[in-house]
Every structure is written in structure tokens, then in C-alpha cells.
Structure 1
Amino acid sequence: MWKYFLPTRVFAGRQVIGQNGELLKEFGTKAFIVTGKSSAKKSGALDEVLRMLEALDIPSSIFDEVEENPSFFTVEKGGRLLSENECDFVIAIGGGSPLDAGKAISAVGMNGCSCEDLYRGKNLPSHPIVAIPTTSGTGSEVTQYSVLTNADGQKKGFGMPSIFPAISFLDPRYTVTMPLDVTIATALDALSHSLEGEVVNKGQNPLLKTLSREANRLIKDSLDRILLDEDDIDLRERMQFAATLAGIVIAHTGTTAVHAAGYPLSSFKNVKHGMANALILVEIFKKIAEADKDRISAAIDPFESLDELQIFIQRFISGRISLRISDEEINEWSDYTSKASHLKKTPGNFDKEFFMDLYRRINNI
């Protein structure tokens, strides 16, 4: 038996908001716009949303304080402002951080709760969420997940059905303004999602298998070409599609130890999330292959081997990451990662010693 569930309505294409923006009237009477410092403005997405809201006579309030790896503090502040401004739906514009923050702000604002309450396993209600991605990586526009950073600097993910975006507008024009390093990091993040999702799925859901394979193919065929012509809208559209496909996959499967081990690199060493995943993905897949070789060979299709996958990844991360990890950090991170919930979905013996060895091997690169 297999199942599929995606409550998010997805509208994709150039000028998609101008052609479908009247749908915003379905969600409320005042919008709370959640963005970061720059991408929503630079991409043109924010201006187009504001023009559409004005045309629809829908007032709005803008919260543009979301940082990379959004903190509990920022989300709780956003939730308070949402309530104080009497907004009744959220429009999240940007990369994974604003989208994840927008989801959490919607729940916090609706319930008047703290971020800690989002992790108690309850399906709290949320205001309707509209997602408008400006990067092609996280797939947050089609998932029920949000990853936040607590007061100790640790990234923690939560999920509940109410934070699936009600609607997502995908316009590849908004992704052209990504800096080169963000283009690479987000593409590798999408690849990680697609690969990890199929490791968990193991072909049991044939639809997810199909989506994963197609996402892998699009990224493999397109990423090199985008770096040669960053303004190519057709290539950007393919990469955006791949990221959304990969997001649909992990909405059904979750992720593996790759994500758990990569979080400290982002939280404490400022390595972009997709780059952190790419740095360690093949080593973890090799360990999984010791327990289930066929699972890995099927998941990485159309890559013919882990060696080919490693060569592909290495082209994009070589010379772009510099790490210095102390023995104390290696011990602390390994202890934390070895207890992560992601390991329940990861075949093989991933104990503290494995992660200590992993972090030692990537140290001082």
C-alpha cells in the first residue's frame, strides 16, 4: 500500500502572481508579509505582491527581519506582531528561512504560544499561508516542515499539517537574482532532499520514486549549465521544478542522518545548509550501503554509483568550504547527532563514534 497527500495548491510559471493573485482574497482580510532582508526585494517578488494586494484592496503589514537559520526569538516577535496588527493570513516570500519562519509565525500568532510549544507533537491550528520561494532548494513551499534555531544555537525541525502552505506561487524569474553561492547551495539542498527521501521510501511509493528520479535528473543535467548562464530562465525553471519535486518527496518521507549531521555545520560554522549536506552525504550513504546496498543504488538513479555522485558534488563544493572544528565541538555534535530522530529512518549503525569519525574527516578542509 502507498499513499499521497499534498494539500498545497501550486501555481507555477512566469508572471504567475499577476495571473492568479485574485486567489489571495480567499485567505483573509489583512496579510502579514514575512521576508528576509533582501531577496524578496531584489527578486521583484515583494513589489509584485504589494501591487496585487493594493489592487485587491487588501491591507498588509511587512515583517522583514528573518535571518538565515531563523531563531525562536525572531519567530516569536513575528507572531506577536501578526496578532497586534490583526492580520489573518501570512504571505512568506524568500528562501527556505523566510518560508520556514512564515509557517512558524503563522502558528505562533494564531495560538499566542512560544516556539517551544510547536515541538510538543500537537497539531496546532495556523493562519492560512501563501508561499513564494525566491530560491530553488528547500521545497518548503510544499512541505509541512519548519526548521528553526533555538537559544542554544541548535537547529530543530517540527512539522504539522496545518503549516502546509495553502497555496504556492512559483515564478522562476524570482530565482535569477540569487548569488552564485546560493544557487549552488540550494540546488545541492534539493538534491539531498530527493536522494534522502528515496532512501527512506525505498521504492515503496512508486509516485515518490518517480518524482525523486526526475528531480535528480533535472539537477544533474541543469546545474552546470546554470552556472554558465545564470540568467537563463528556462534552466532556472527546471531547477525550481526539481526543488519542488524534492520537497514533495520529503513531505511524505522526511530526511535522514545527512540532515542531522549537517545541522551543526550550519548552526555553528555558517556553512550553508545545502553545502553542509553535500559535504557529508556520500559518506553517510556509504554507511547505509553497508546495511542495504540496493537501497542506495536505487535512490541515486540516474547517478550510476556513489563515486559518480561524489564527483558531481565535489565540482560544486571544492574550494567553497573552510572548516575548523575543535575536538570539543566534534564530541558535542556527535553526541547530539547520534540521538537525532532522523536516525530512525536511516538504515545502519550510526552511533556517536561514526559521527566523531565523520566530523574528523571533514575537519580542516
Structure 2
Amino acid sequence: MWNFFIPTMVYFGSGVVEKHAKFSDCGSKALLITGKRSARVSGALHDVTKRLVAQGIAFELFDEIEENPSFKTVEKGAEFLRLKNCDFVVGIGGGSPIDAAKAIAILGANPELKAYHLYSKKVEYSLPVVAIPLTSGTGSEVTQYSVLTDKDGNKQGFSNLYSFPKYSFLDPRYTLTMPEELTISTALDALSHAIEGELLNNGANPLVKKLSFEATRLIRENLPCVLNEPENLVYREKLQYAAMLAGMVIAHTGTTIVHAAGYPLSSKKGIKHGMANAVFLVDVLASISERAGEQVKNCIEPFENLSELSKFFEELGTYKIRLDMDESELIEWSEKAAKAPHNRRTPGEFDRAFYENLYKKLKKDE
């Protein structure tokens, strides 16, 4: 027995905002959630504001979203939303602006809540969210997840059914301005979602299995092509489609300890999230394969084996990551990773020593 649930209406293709965005279905005044740069240079902000004006819908801009958005920033955004009387939000950007938009939509509609309540309180209402991704990675445009950074600099993800976007508009043209480093990192984020999700699914939901396989295949075949021809819209479109499929996978499965291990690399050392996942993925899967070899083999398809997957990562520069870390950091990260909820759903036993060994491999030679 299995089920599949994605309440988001997805529009995909060149010009979808101009052709299909009916913002009047969401409300009468929009809060646009962006970072400082990518929404502008990609052309997405222009397309959205042009469409809003054409439909006679007022809007405000909150462009203060940083990479790994903080509790403080989303609380500020929610306060701004209420001050300006906005009744829906539009997240334009990579995973950070879209994740922030989800949090701001909930906090803005529930003024008694603070960001930390998103992880413990039952939320029964959110303002509508529209997602317009500019990267091909997180799949946040089709998930109920949002990852924020707490006051101590730790990344934490929350899940809420009200956080599924009402509409998502995926235009591969917006991804053409991604630099190579971001193209690689976001694609590897999507790849880790596809593989981790199917590891947890283990064939139980046949649709999730098919989506995982297709996402992995598309990234394996098209990421090298995009790096060779970064202006090729056909390859960019296939990567964005793959990231969306991988998002649908984790919407039904969640992620594994790979994410738990990678979080401090992003929040503490500035490593891009996708790279932080990829650097650990093969080692984690190798450990799991000792007791669940067939499960690992199935989740990485169409890669033939872990050696092929490792070679793929190596050619993308994944294993060049080396970090300055002291003993206290190593212990702190390992203790937190060992307590993360991801451990309960990942096959195997993973104690502090396991994570210490993972992190030690990344330590710069002294």
C-alpha cells in the first residue's frame, strides 16, 4: 500500500510566469521574498512584477534573504509582511528565498509565533506561497520543507503541510545565470535527494522509485553537458526538471544522515549545501551497504555501483573539500549529527565515532 500527495500546481517551461501566473488567485497584495542579486539578474523579478502590475495587484519587496536564512531574518520578514498588509508571498530564488518565504507565510499569518515555534507548535494556517526557483537543486518548490538557521548558527529543517506552495513556476531560462560552482552544487543537492529518498523508500512506493531513477539519470547525463555548454537551455531544462522530481521524492520520504552530517559544513564553514551532501554520500552508503547491499544498489540506479558514483563526484571536484576544524568543532558536530532525527530513519547504527571519522577525512593536513 502506498500514496502520493503533491498539492502544488506546477507550471514548467519558458515564459510560464507571463503565460500562466494568476496571482489574483492568491490574494490582493504580494510580498516578494528574494536575495540581493539573483532574482534581478535572472530576469525573474522583472517578469513577476510586470505580471503583478498587469493584474492590478500591489506588492512589496523584502530582499534581505541570506544564504542559509536565519530565524532573525524570517521573523523580520514576517513583521514587514504584517506592517505592509500583504496577504500572500512569492519566493524567488534558490532554496533559501523559497524556504524563507514558507516560514514568513506562516509567521506572518500567526503573529503569536516565533521562528523556533515552527519546530514544536501545531500550525493550522499559512498565507499562500508561490515559488519561483532560480536554481536546479533543492526542489523546495514541490515540498513541505523549509530549512532555517537558528540563533546558534545551526541549520534546522521543519515540515508542515501548509508549507507546500500553492503554485510553482519553473522557467529554465532563470537558471542560465547560475555560475558553475552553483550549478554543480545545486545539481548535487538534487542528486542526493533522489538517492537518499529512494534509500528510505526502498521500492515501497513505485512512483517514488521511478521519480528517483529518472532524476538520477537526468543529472548523471546532463550535468556534465551543462558544464560544457552552460548557455544550452535544453540541458538546463533537464536539470531543473530533475531537481523538481527529486523534490517530489523527498516530499514523501525525507532525507538521511547525509544531510545531518552536511549541515555544519554549510552553516559553519560556508560549503555549498549540495557539495556538503555529496562529500559524505558515498561513505555513508558504503557503511549501509555492509548490511543492506541490495538496498544501496537499488537507490543509486542507474549508477552501476558506488565506485562509479564516487568517480562522478571526483570529476566534479567534490573531494577537494578540506576544512580547518579544531577538536571542539569536530566533537560538537559529531554529537549533534548523532542526535539528529535523520538517524532514526536511516538504515544502520551511527554513533558519534562514525561522524567523527567522516569529518576527520575533511580536515586539512597540519
TM range (shorter): over 0.9
Amino acid at match of 2:68: N
Are residues 319 and 213 of structure 1, via their aligned partners in 2, closer, same or farther at CA, if it must alter by over 3 Å? Answer: closer
Q: Spell out, residue by residue over 1:14-68, the C-alpha distance to the aligned partner (whole angstroms, 9 max, x if none).
A: 00011112x2110000000000111100100000000000000000000000000
- Whether the aligned pair in 2 keeps the contact of 1:107 and 1:124 (CA below 8 Å) is no
Q: Which residue of 2 aligns with 1:296?
A: 296
- Identical pairs, percent: 52
Alignment of 1:14-53 (within 5 A): 14-21=14-21, 23-53=22-52
Alignment of 1:191-270 (within 5 A): 191-270=191-270
Residue equivalent to 2:355: 355
Q: Secondary structure at 1:182's aligned position in 2? A: helix
> How far is 1:321 from its partner?
2.9
Amino acid in the other structure paired with 2:84: N
1:320-359 → structure 2 map (5 Å cutoff): 321-359=321-359
Letter in 1 for 2:41: K
1:107 corresponding residue in structure 2: 106
Structure 2 partner of 1:150: 150
Q: Give 1:274's aligned residue.
A: 274
Q: TM-score, normalised by structure 2?
A: 0.98
Instruction: Indicate yes or no: 2:141 matched with 1:141.
Output: yes
1:56-115 C-alpha deviation (Å, 9 max, x unpaired): 000000000000000000000000000110000000000000000000000010001200
SS at match of 1:246: helix
User: Is 1:2 matched with 2:2?
Assistant: yes
How many residues are aligned here? 364
Partner of 2:62: 63
Amino acid at match of 2:56: D
Equivalent residue letter for 1:95: G
Deviation at 1:182, TM superposition (A): 0.3
2:316, 2:100 → 1: CA distance?
Answer: 28
Report the AA paired with residue 31 of structure 2: F
Q: What is the CA-CA distance between 1:320 and the residue it aligns to?
A: 5.4
Quick check: 310-319 or 122-131, which moved more?
310-319
**CA pair 121-195 structure 1, distance change in 2 beyond 3 A:** farther
1:121 shift after superposition: 4.8
Uncovered stretches (5+) of structure 1, i.e. residues with no partner = none
Residues 9, 166 of structure 2: 8 Å contact kept: yes
Contact 2:279 2:319 in 1 (8 A): no
Determine the structure 2 residue equivalent to 1:77.
Answer: 76
Match of 1:173 in 2: 173
Q: Distance in 1 between matches of 2:336 and 2:25?
A: 43
Deviations, residues 186-245 of structure 1 (Å, cap 9, x unaligned):
000000000000000000000000000000000000011100110100000000000000
- Other structure's SS at 2:255 match: coil
Unaligned runs of 5+ residues in structure 2 are none
CA distance in 1, matches of 2:148, 2:123: 17
Paired position in structure 1 for 2:286 = 286
Contact 1:124 / 1:160 at 8 angstroms: preserved in 2?
no
- The offset of 1:318, in angstroms, is 4.5
Task: State the shift of 1:124 in Å.
Answer: 3.4
Task: Return the letter of the residue paired with 1:18.
Answer: E
- 1:345: Cα distance to partner? 1.1
What's the RMSD between the two structures over aligned residues? 0.9
